[in-house]
Amino acid sequence: MRSEGPGYFATALEARGIPATVVAIDEGAKVPKDARAFSGLVFMGGPMSVNDDLPWIAPALELIRDAVRKDVPVLGHCLGGQLMAKALGGEVSRNRVKEIGWGEVEVCDNAVAREWFGELQRFEAFHWHGETFTIPFGGTRVLTNAHCANQAFALGKHFALQCHVEMTEELVRAWVRGGAAEIRRSAASPAVQSPQEIERRLAQRVEALHKVADRIYGRWFEGLAK
């Protein structure tokens, strides 16, 4: 979705001189069929559910499966992570609470998590979701928190996030403006913050988040076909 574009991921691509093509599938662009046409595939967020009856969801799921079969790295953010989970045999369902705003996530204590995060043990991520995914067969949970057990999983060179690491100051402010009504409706959730809290210390929070994003993206870029 246009309001949930590549954000800081685009900056990371530009910093490494990696060309990219944006495919706006929610605006009618056709989902590519051959994953090998790309060195990697990245799926961003959106307000819809992977369980919705939308014409592009089935081909997107098949593209993810095609990429995994052909060893083309896949990266998913929030809705993108849910697409990856469903494509690979997991389930997506309502989370017990809605998460909106900043919240700490923990790096799981396993070898796969250490491959992606090194010695990092926890960090503050951005959240905006009401659903969650299960970990598909072969995947390993690498991030968790108190409100949503499965915040990220890795499967070889493929990486799926429930939380957001691609946020910029501009994206956060735009989401808060566009989602003000949703924030009000969800205020009873212990994991939903007020707009004022979400924007508090925003520059510092985003800067810290980008350091984590650089770690994830850098590791993911290593799997791209040269």
Cα–Cα distance for residue pair 138/204, rounded to 1 Å: 36
Decide if 147 contacts 193 (C-beta within 8 A).
no
* Domain at 196, CATH number: 3.40.50.880
Residue 128: closest CA among 162, 80, 154: 162
The yes-or-no verdict on residue 3 having pLDDT over 70 is: no
Is 63 among the domain residues? yes
Q: Which amino acid is at 79?
A: L
* 73 belongs to a structural domain: yes
- CA neighbor of 210 nearest in space, from 175, 167, 181, 173: 167
pLDDT bin (cut points 50, 70, 90) of residue 5 is confident
* Residue range of the domain that includes 169: 2-221
The average pLDDT across 39-62 equals 96
Mean pLDDT of 80-91: 98
For residues 21-46, average pLDDT = 93
Strands 92-107 and 74-77 turn out to be unpaired
Query: 64, 42, 60, 41: which is closest to 51 by C-alpha?
Result: 60
Q: Is residue 34 part of a domain?
A: yes
Distance between CA atoms of residues 42 and 80, nearest Å: 8
Please check whether residue 223 is in contact with residue 217, taking contact to mean a CB–CB distance below 8 angstroms: no
Contact 64, 83 (CB under 8 A): yes
Confidence band, pLDDT 50/70/90 cuts, at residue 27:
confident
Which amino acid appears at position 81 of this protein? G
Q: Provide the whole-model pTM.
A: 0.96
Residue 226 is assigned to a structural domain of this protein: no
Q: Give the whole-angstrom CA distance, residue 6 versus residue 171.
A: 10
Total count of domains within the chain? 1
CA distances from 145 to 99, 103, 150, 207 (A): 11, 8, 8, 21
Residue 173 inside a domain? The answer is yes
Alpha helix (H) residue ranges in 88-131 = 111-117
Give a yes or no: residue 157 inside a domain. yes
Please give the pLDDT value at position 1. Answer: 46
Q: Residue 26 — pLDDT band, cuts 50, 70, 90?
A: confident
Higher-confidence residue of 25 and 165: namely 165
